[in-house]
């Protein structure tokens, strides 16, 4: 339901139909959710008030998270570089063996598996790397 003349939560609650609560368990769950919503709204109000009263803390916090993001980006760059080096070494050893040479790896060395490493730069900004295999279906 979209009402164009409703601008507040209270107005929306006034025009919305009552929830369909058939069991006592449903009513208890609904009451708990409503209480959590009220707590969340109060928390947001208090935090907004605090940000107005303490702008220096807000700037410190923003600087902290900017520094953490930069450190995380540097860590990811280093990991990607390490994967690229490991993959390049494994592929070079494959070429050595293919050309009849002697490899530095033993036959049961785990470094052989490094030739299959993903070295793409397609990682998300927020750190949620999608490693699930949904596209295999």
pLDDT digits (tens, 9 = 90+) for 72-89: 999 999 999 999 999 999
As a whole number of angstroms, the distance between CA 87 and CA 112 comes to 9
pLDDT (mean) for 45-74: 96
pLDDT (mean) for 109-137: 67
Is 91 a member of any domain? yes
Is 4 a member of any domain? no
pLDDT at 50: 94
Domain limits for position 26: 22-116
pLDDT at 129: 52
As a whole number of angstroms, the distance between CA 77 and CA 24 comes to 54
Is 41 a member of any domain? yes
Is 51 a member of any domain? yes
Q: Do the Cβ atoms of 15 and 4 come closer than 8 Å? A: no
Is 1 a member of any domain? no
Looking at the structure of the chain, the number of domains it has is 1
Whole-model pTM? 0.54
């Amino acid at each position: 339901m979209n009402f164009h003349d409703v601008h507040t939560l209270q107005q929306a609650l006034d025009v919305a139909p009552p929830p369909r609560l058939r069991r006592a368990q449903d009513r208890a769950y609904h009451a708990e959710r409503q209480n959590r919503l009220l707590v969340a709204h109060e928390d947001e109000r208090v935090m907004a008030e605090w940000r107005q009263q303490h702008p220096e803390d807000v700037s410190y916090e923003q600087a902290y998270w900017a520094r953490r993001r930069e450190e995380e980006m540097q860590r990811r760059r280093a990991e990607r570089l390490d994967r690229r080096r490991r993959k390049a070494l494994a592929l070079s050893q494959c070429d050595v063996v293919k050309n009849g040479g002697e490899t530095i790896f033993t036959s049961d060395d785990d470094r052989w598996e490094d030739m299959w490493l993903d070295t793409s730069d397609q990682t998300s900004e927020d750190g949620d790397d999608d490693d699930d295999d949904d596209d295999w279906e």
